[in-house]
Structure 1
Amino acid sequence: MSYKVSPQSIGFNPAEAERAARAMNQYLANLQVLFIKFHNVHWNVIGMSFFDIHEKTQGLYEHVAVEIDLIAERIKMIGFYPVGSLKEALKLATIKELPSNVDLNGPTVASIVVKDLRKLIAQLREISQNVDSTYTGGFIEDALSYYEKQHWLFSAYLTKE
């Protein structure tokens, strides 16, 4: 008897499970890029809003770290391999890296975060619409809710009074 997990061993349609794994792997790749990018802006923010942005970006990368593990483990649970190298992640990701040798003020960081969260939210909506939640374990809906709230918070920060 084989103990290796496969889509069939847990009652999943192999083609649907593979489609779900591909979608979640691209999401995982974006999270891996964001994990580094959120650290980058966290370390390189300067100016009057340093304390607020420094704290908020720390919250983002801490959340993303947990999300990375949840999604990677879900991909394994349905019988596939998660993207586990930076080379593979950069190839799959639609979110781009940021140079690390630049000082950034609070509004610039917030604009970068809002732009990337919009991409992530759009990706999550697409996964939610095209992949049955039994394959994603319901994690996509939870992530969508979190990132929508973060988008709202950073957008409010950028709104002129």
Structure 2
Amino acid sequence: MDIGINEQDRQEIANGLSRLLADTYTLYLKTHNFHWNVTGPMFQTLHLMFEQHYNELALAVDLVAERIRALGHYAPGSYAEYARLASIPEANGVPSAEDMIRQLVDGHETLCRTARSIFPIVEKASDEPTADLLTQRLQVHEKTAWMLRSLLAR
């Protein structure tokens, strides 16, 4: 494979993207869980919002995995691998609607930090397609975290 990025850099980028994929999938699953189980006076608003969020995350999982493949590496795809790679914890039980929102804010902020942690190697390798993907993901996660935080403002 000769795309202008050496094997070591492609491996490092793929490793970072694998962590991003695990975090994205974990947040997808958590968001879908909350969509099913949210209750309370904000049910309708949150149920619909969470559905929009998990649909967006489902598309993102595919984009990240396909970028890993384009770099010549295999994408992780099992719960065991995601549990090992993810920095977003799974939800325990069924939290209150407000706690769901807090956990999702934390998840989106974690994804921002994970994406940012990959930039140094991406920039060193002049990997513009991955930089573009990371920038797009950051825009989505920062905006989503802001919108969720706004629901918690008093």
Same fold, TM-score > 0.5, yes or no: yes
The residue that corresponds to 2:103 in the other structure is 112
CA RMSD of aligned residues (A): 1.4
1:12-161 equivalent positions in 2, closer than 5 A:
12-99=5-92, 101-102=93-94, 104-132=95-123, 133-134=127-128, 136=130, 138-160=132-154
Compare CA radii of gyration and give the structure with the larger one: 1
SS in 2 for 1:46: coil
Query: What do residues 8-61 of structure 1 show as CA deviations (whole Å, max 9, x unaligned)?
Result: 332221111111000000100111111111111111100000011111111111
For residues 103 and 131 of structure 2, the distance between their equivalents in structure 1, rounded to whole angstroms, comes to 29
- The question of whether the paired residues in 2 share the 8 Å contact of 1:39 and 1:57 is answered with yes
- Rounded to whole Å, the distance in 2 between the matches of 1:35 and 1:137 is 22
Give the secondary structure class of the aligned counterpart of 2:74: coil
Residue 135 of structure 1 and its aligned partner are, at CA, apart by 5.7
Is this contact kept in 2: 1:49–1:105, CA < 8 A? no
The answer to whether the 8 A contact 2:27-2:104 is kept is: no
Question: Structure 1: where are the runs of 5+ without partners?
Answer: 1-7
TM-score by length of 2: 0.91
Gaps of 5+ in 2: none
| 3-state SS of 1:138 partner | helix
- What is the number of equivalent residue pairs in this alignment? 151
